[in-house]
Structure 1
Amino acid sequence: MKKIYLFLILSCFIFSVKAQSNTTWKGKKCAVVITYDDAIHQHLDNAVPVLDSLGLKASFYLTAFSDACKTRLNEWRALAKRGHELGNHTLYHPCLGNLPGRNWVKGEQDMSQYTYQRMLNEVRMTNVFLEALDGQKKRTFAFTCGDMKIGDKNFMDDMKADFVAARAVRDEMHTIDKINLYDVDCFVVNNHTAEQMIEWVEKAKTNNALLVVLFHGVGGGNGLDVKIEEHRKFLKYLKQNQKDIMIETMFDTAEYIKAFRAK
Structure 2
Amino acid sequence: MKYLLIILALSSFTNTYAQVWNGKKCAVVITYDDAIDQHLDNAVPILDSLGLKASFYVTAFSGSVQNRLNEWKNLDKKGHELGNHTLYHPCTGGTGREWVKPEYDMRNYTVQRMIDETRMTNLFLQALDGKTKRTFAFTCGDMKIGDSSFINAMKKDFVAARAVRNEMHQINEIDLYNIDCYMVNNHTGEQMIEWVKKAIATNSLLVILFHGVGGGNGLDVSISAHQQLLTYLKQNEKDIMIAPMITVAEYLQSRQKIK
TM-score range, shorter chain: over 0.9
Shift of 1:14: 4.3
| 1:109-188 alignment, distance < 5 Å | 109-188=104-183
Alignment match of 2:79 (pick from 77, 83, 99): 83
- Asked if 1:206 is matched to 2:212, the reply is no
**Which runs of 5 or more residues in structure 1 are unaligned?**
none
- Asked if 1:219 is matched to 2:214, the reply is yes
Shift of 1:125: 0.3
**Inter-partner Cα distance in structure 1 for 2:6 and 2:238:** 32
**Inter-partner Cα distance in structure 2 for 1:132 and 1:187:** 30
Paired-residue identity, %: 66
Shift of 1:225: 0.1
- Asked if 1:20 is matched to 2:20, the reply is no
Which residue number in structure 1 is paired with residue 59 of structure 2?
63
**Inter-partner Cα distance in structure 2 for 1:136 and 1:200:** 32
**Inter-partner Cα distance in structure 2 for 1:14 and 1:154:** 43
Shift of 1:223: 0.4
**Inter-partner Cα distance in structure 1 for 2:45 and 2:15:** 37
**Which runs of 5 or more residues in structure 2 are unaligned?**
none
Secondary structure of 2:252's counterpart equals: helix
- AA aligned to 2:50 is L
Deviations along 1:134-178, one digit per CA (max 9) or x if unpaired, are 100110000000000011111000000000000000000000000
Which residue number in structure 2 is paired with residue 248 of structure 1?
243
Secondary structure of 1:15's counterpart equals: helix
The normalised TM-score by structure 2 is: 0.96
Shift of 1:18: 2.3
Shift of 1:116: 1.0
- AA aligned to 1:242 is E
How many pairs does the alignment contain?
A: 258
Shift of 1:205: 0.3
**Inter-partner Cα distance in structure 2 for 1:192 and 1:246:** 23
Secondary structure of 1:177's counterpart equals: helix
Shift of 1:54: 0.5
Shift of 1:11: 5.0
**Poorly superposed stretches of 4+, deviation over 6 Å:** none
**Inter-partner Cα distance in structure 1 for 2:102 and 2:51:** 41
Secondary structure of 2:41's counterpart equals: helix
Shift of 1:17: 2.9
- Asked if 1:95 is matched to 2:86, the reply is no
Secondary structure of 1:256's counterpart equals: helix
**Inter-partner Cα distance in structure 2 for 1:29 and 1:116:** 39
